[in-house]
Structure formats: structure tokens, C-alpha cells
Structure 1
Amino acid sequence: MMKTDDEIKRDVEAELRWDPDIDASNIAVNVKSGVVTLTGFIPSYLQKFEAEKDVKRVQGVVGVANDLEVRLPSVDQRPDPDIARDAVEALKTQLPYSYQNFKVVVRDGWITLEGEAEWNYQKEKADMAVRGVKGCKGVINSIKITPKVAAQEVKRKIEEAFLRSAELDAKRIEVEASDGEVVLKGTVHSWFEREQAERAAWQAPGVRKVEDRIVIQP
């Protein structure tokens, strides 16, 4: 039996309150046709992502619009040069062999990442590295993926990853690949499964764009 929007709303609110790593006191939850919209304020950029992860775990959720605004407490506000210095150090720590390929620009607490990467995991890891820098209000990840692998090889590697995954029914998902761009089609049973498929696609070498057309059928 499918959950109603009111039931999803209740469960999302409970999940947010249950998470000890976020302050959910100023978060408002709205649900329409299974799509959850988060509005209000959150005291750190890292908590904004944590709230989104909480929502995606709730059964019945088919989409999330994270419109939370980061409002840093005065004690966490810092000058842009200090944020930039710590962001560069975070990149060096998390990506010691490729951090030189990236550039950090900070304006009004927002960190912009620029440069090129061969693998999407490097782009993701760079984003995650700077996300927790004190004073960060948001991250704009402009790192470009430079494809160096043939489309058929990309398609094969993604399909093999699907077959290895215990969380995915590979027979229900179709993969198309062209010039570093991947399209996923088919059906899955949950948002988590859809996210796992997309993550597996991004982990293939040379992938610079994933268009996820997978439909959730609970």
C-alpha cells in the first residue's frame, strides 16, 4: 500500500528530528505526490546535505527539493581568505595526487571549485572535502570531467557494476553512453536504489554527465 503525502511528511519530520547531527528546529517539510520540499534555515552547509540524506532514506519519497538556506552562527563566520586557505588544505589532504588540477575561489563564504578531472569520484571527493570547511555557506562545483574512454567501454563498465551490486536488479536498468554522457532508463523500487544506480554510473571512467530517467515504482 502506497503511503499518503501526510504519512511521508510525518515520517520525514521524524527522521530529521531523529538525526543527532543536524538542528531541524527551523526546517519546514512539504510533500506533494511523494516529492519532498525542505525550506527554512540550517546552521551549516554540511547539515544541509545531511538533511537531504535523511529525507532520501524515507520510504515513499520519489524526489527531494532542498531549498534550505544556510545561516551561519556568528561564531562560524570567517573571512574569505581564511576559508580559501582551509579549502586548499582540505583538497591536499583528500586528493594528494590530483589537488594541483583544481582551483579554489571563495566569495561571501561560497566556495567555487574549478579545474579538470579524469574521474568523477575526484570531482565528488573535492566537493566533499571543502563542504565541511568552517565558514562555508555553499559549494559551486565547476570541475569538468575530461573523457578519455570509448563510449562502449563506459557502457560495459557500468553494466558490470550493476551486475555486481547486491542493491540493484540489473535486468531492470538500461544504459546508453555517448561521448562521456550516460543515460539511465528503467524502473527501481526505491529512491535509494535509483541513487545507487546513478552513483555506479558516475564511478565509470570518463563520465562527465549522467541523465537519470529511472522511474521509481514502489
Structure 2
Amino acid sequence: MAIATISRVDQEIQSTVLDELTWEPRVRPHEIGVTVSEGVVSLTGWVDSYAKKWAAERAAHRVGRVRAVANDLTVRLDGGAERADPDIAAAAAHALEWDAFVPVGQVDVTVAQGFVTLHGEVEWEYQRQAAERAVGRLTGVRGVGNGISVRPDIRADAHTLTDRIVDALARNRATEAERIDVRVHGDTVVLSGLVHSMPERAEVERTVWSAPGVREVQNRVAVAPVLGTGGR
């Protein structure tokens, strides 16, 4: 692709990401800088909570033709949002206990200077993600490290698991299953192929994680946006 074409496409993506950030009520777009290089979006600046940093990243991922997002936003808490580490740890423990998707007693919390680290084992990926979301929304949190491992209670036959995943992808109207290659090695699923957007890539991975017995997903699916189409 010619440099002039790349530059024009990147400018269009940048403009659309800025529009999406303006549309996202959880962030203040004037605090966030956006640059784009060959479809890769970089977010810079600062926000006053980890939840806003996450919301800005998700907003950028929603934009068509975005290949990847580098989230370099800094969480800078104002005085009213500062919390002592023991208070954050106690709030995180309560948040995990009250979240219906997080198994009780299987996730440990460590807090250092506002950064929360999660450890433990769960049976499903959605439980791992639910734990991160539960603590990421808390006041005073500067960042979250998710060290939770997925350990399924069942073991699936590789051939059967492959067939079930392929069938699930075919049922999902948000993906083009024929463009995705699925390979299963034990309890690890390796994905390759092409999709047209980051949301489609994420949907493929979400579908695969829903299969019983999956411990790890290696998502090698590439994003090849359709050129010449508008923003979202």
C-alpha cells in the first residue's frame, strides 16, 4: 500500500476514534491523545481512574479498520480518589465476593501503591475476566494485573472440541467462520486466519473460550480491515 494511502486511512481512523471517544460518556476526550500508524492506535494522556482507561481502550477497539490499540494512558488520581492499599484490598475482596460470576474463595488479591494483582484458579475465562472487571471499577485502583489461571474441571477430546468450536463459530453471525482456522492441542486452542475488525477478532476468541475444557487460547487471527469503508 502506498504511503499516501496509509496516511489518509490513518487520518480517517484517528478522526473516527476521536468521535468514538467523544461519544463514550465514561471518558473525557480532551484528556486523551490519539495517534494512528498503519491502523495501530496509540492512546496517550491521563485519566483519573483505571475504569476510564479501560473504557477508552474499548472505545478505540470498536472503531472499524483498527488493527490494534496501544494504551499508554496514565492513571492519575485526584485527592478525593486516593485510597490506602489496605482499603483497596478490602474493597476488592468484597467486590469479588459480591460478583455472581466469580467463584468464592478462589481468587487472591494483592495491592501495592494502588496496583491490584489477582491470583488463583477458575474454571472458565469469563470468570477470570469478571474478577478483573470487578476490581478495575473500584475507586483508588491505578492498574490491574490479572494472574488468574483457567483450569477446566473437564477434559475434552481434541477432535470433538474442534468440531464443537467450528460449529459454534458457524452459528455466530458476527464472524466469518470460513476465514478462521481452528487447531486443538490438548486443552489449548490455536486460532489463525483473517477478520475485518478487532471486535470480530475478540468475538471469535470469546466464542472459543465458551467451549468446555479449554484452558488456553492462542489468538493468532490477523486483522485485515476492508479499505474504502467508513468509520464504524
Equivalent residue, structure 1, for 2:185? 178
CA contact (8 A) 1:116 1:145 kept: yes
Amino acid at match of 2:211: A
Give the superposition deviation at 1:42. Answer: 1.1
The Cα of 1:79 is off from its aligned counterpart by 0.6
Q: Number of paired residues?
A: 218
Matched-pair contact (CA < 8 Å) for 1:95–1:122: no
Aligned to 1:149: 155
- For structure 2, the 5+ residue unaligned runs are 227-232
Q: Normalising by the residue count of structure 1, what TM-score does the alignment of the two structures yield?
A: 0.92
- Distance apart, 1:26 and its partner CA: 2.0
> Does 1:169 find its partner at 2:176?
yes
Distance 2:78 2:110 in 1: 22
> 1:75 matched to which residue of 2?
80
**In 2, distance between residues paired with 1:126 and 1:203?**
17
| Deviation of the 1:153 alpha carbon | 4.0
The TM-score with structure 2 as length reference comes to: 0.87
CA RMSD across the alignment: 1.8
Match of 1:210 in 2: 217
Give the stretch that moved more between structures: 184-193 or 131-140. 184-193
Mapped to 2, the partners of 1:189 and 1:117 lie a distance apart of 32
Q: Which amino acid aligns with 2:222?
A: V
Distance 1:97 1:35, change over 3 A: closer
> How many Å separate the matches in 1 of 2:102 and 2:141?
24
* Residue 207 of structure 2 corresponds to residue 200 of structure 1: yes
Query: Which stretch of the first structure deviates more once superposed, 180-189 or 89-98?
Result: 89-98
Q: 2:13 aligns with which of 8, 17, 20?
A: 8
Q: Measure, in 2, the Cα distance between the counterparts of 1:96 and 1:128.
A: 11
Q: Label 1:96 to 1:197 Cα distance change in 2 as closer, same or farther (>3 A).
A: closer
Question: Relative to structure 1, is the Cα distance of residues 96 and 170 closer, same or farther in structure 2, using a 3 angstrom cutoff?
Answer: closer
Residue in structure 1 matched with residue 229 of structure 2 by the alignment: none
**TM-aligned CA deviation for residue 177 of structure 1:** 1.6
Quick one: distance in 2 between partners of 1:99 and 1:153?
31
Q: How does 1:7-86 map to 2 (within 5 A)?
A: 7-86=12-91
Q: Percent identity?
A: 41
* 2:95 match: 90
**8 Å CA contact 1:24, 1:42 repeated in 2:** no
Residues 122, 150 of structure 2: 8 Å contact kept: yes
For the Cα contact (< 8 Å) 1:118–1:205, is it kept in 2?
no
